[in-house]
Amino acid sequence: MPCKVVLAAEVASNYTAEIKSEVSQKETKPRLVGFLANDDIYAEKYAQSSSKHLAEAGLEFELRQVPRESLEAAIREANADDRVSGILVYYPVYGDDRDQKLQDLVDPTKDVEGLNVVYNGKLYGNDRFLDEEKTRKAILPCTPLAVVKVLDHIGVYNHSLPYGDHLRGKTIAVVNRSEVVGRPLAALLANDGAKVYSIDINDIQIYERDPTASINSHTATKTELKPEDVIPLCDVVITGVPTAAYKMPTSLLKPGVVAVNFASVRNFEPEVKDVASIYVPSVGKVTVSMLQRNLLRLFNYQH
């Protein structure tokens, strides 16, 4: 079976028309402010990419480059500014606990990436709505959501299973456990019924729903297993290692695997196509679509 390469643009195109038409009906346009306080070239690329695609959809975008010492004050100012509909901070800023503080400082009503503790708590607790009546959906972080949309597009989610159980029976590796992508992504997949190996530079944790627990959420347990033990077991392998030198060894992959890379560098070797059934080399364009959708959703909640 030849490998199918699925490009992010193909998945993103599912959303473009809908977003454009919704924006065109609005008198005032939603406005996103992005704060760039690091010198990450990929954050800058993301800023350029979002700027271009938001403009194409009729959405407003303003990039504010500030030294990281001034970021707190800058976020507070944007929180209080009625002209700002959404706020995005490019991470990592400090790369430690201070980043979580920044995430929580963004007003939840303007938090386009859903990284505030309010949304974070809902994501990890598998609570998908903001209100009791279930009329307003919680905001999910853009890249984890983009990966979910990609997996859905290529048929990994089984919609004949009950809602909330679409990934039952699937074993998935997520190589990255950052607070903005890898950990929330692993939680989302586990909350939909998958067995997830969350792999980072230090260890491996297993995320899975506990069928005996009264809560609907997942558990995380540390294992002594190594990547070479768990990768061969996985139906889906998702990578997000930010170093160009890192390569997922093709020899570890199960034949027919679905391989998805969200890092800005290629984490799979070119030979991945000899083994995988589906290969998604990047998801950036879907991330931008999810950013637009989240911005629209917050704007609608504000009005």
Ligand X SMILES: NC(=O)C1=CN([C@@H]2O[C@H](COP(=O)(O)OP(=O)(O)OC[C@H]3O[C@@H](n4cnc5c(N)ncnc54)[C@H](O)[C@@H]3O)[C@@H](O)[C@H]2O)C=CC1
Ligand Y SMILES: Nc1nc(=O)c2c([nH]1)NC[C@@H]1CN(c3ccc(C(=O)N[C@@H](CCC(=O)O)C(=O)O)cc3)C=[N+]21
- Shortest distance, position 36 Cβ to ligand Y, whole Å: 9
Is 143 a binding residue for ligand Y by CB under 6 A? The answer is yes
Is 43 a binding residue for ligand Y by CB under 6 A? The answer is yes
- Shortest distance, position 5 Cβ to ligand X, whole Å: 16
What angle do helix axes 182-191 and 142-153 make, rounded to 10 degrees?
A: 50
Is 182 a binding residue for ligand X by CB under 6 A? The answer is yes
Q: What six digits make up the tokens of 140?
A: 């999910």
Candidates 42, 94, 124, 246; binder of ligand Y (CB under 6 A) is 42
> 38 Cβ partners below 8 Å, 6+ apart?
68, 90, 91, 92, 93
Residue that has been written with the tokens 């990890």 in this structure: 124
Is 281 a binding residue for ligand X by CB under 6 A? The answer is no
Q: What six digits make up the tokens of 168?
A: 């039952």
User: Cα separations (Å) of 116 from 79, 145, 148, 157?
Assistant: 13, 16, 20, 27
Candidates 177, 209, 293, 297; binder of ligand X (CB under 6 A) is 177
Binders of ligand Y in range 84-123 (CB under 6 A):
89-91, 113
What single letter denotes the amino acid at residue 197? Y
**Which residue lies nearer to ligand Y by CB, 48 or 251?**
48
* Residues of the chain by 3-state class (helix, strand, coil), percent to 5: 40, 20, 40
Is 241 a binding residue for ligand X by CB under 6 A? The answer is yes
90, interface contact from ligand X, ligand Y, none, CB < 5-8 Å by kind: ligand Y
Binders of ligand Y in range 213-242 (CB under 6 A):
none
Give catalytic residue positions: 142
Candidates 13, 14, 21, 45; binder of ligand Y (CB under 6 A) is 45
Residue 196 · residue 183 · CB < 8 Å: no
What single letter denotes the amino acid at residue 30? P
Is 36 a binding residue for ligand X by CB under 6 A? The answer is no
Region of residue 155 (left: phi > 0; alpha: psi -120 to 50; beta: else): left
Residue whose CB is nearest to ligand Y in the complex, by number: 284
Cα dihedral 68, 91, 109, 55 in deg (nearest 10):
100
- Shortest distance, position 283 Cβ to ligand X, whole Å: 5
| Stated length of the chain | 303
**Which residue lies nearer to ligand Y by CB, 184 or 284?**
284
Is 291 a binding residue for ligand X by CB under 6 A? The answer is no
**Which residue lies nearer to ligand X by CB, 125 or 227?**
227
Is 94 a binding residue for ligand X by CB under 6 A? The answer is no
Q: Measured between alpha carbons, how far is 272 from 102 in angstroms, rounded to an integer?
A: 38
Q: Report how many helices (DSSP H) and strands (DSSP E) the chain contains, helices first.
A: 10, 11
Contacts to ligand Y by CB under 6 A: 8, 40, 42-43, 45-46, 49, 89-91, 113, 142-143, 180, 264, 282, 284-285, 287-288
Contacting residues toward ligand X, per CB under 6 A: 42, 91-92, 143, 146, 175-178, 180-182, 199-201, 240-243, 246, 262-265, 283-284, 287
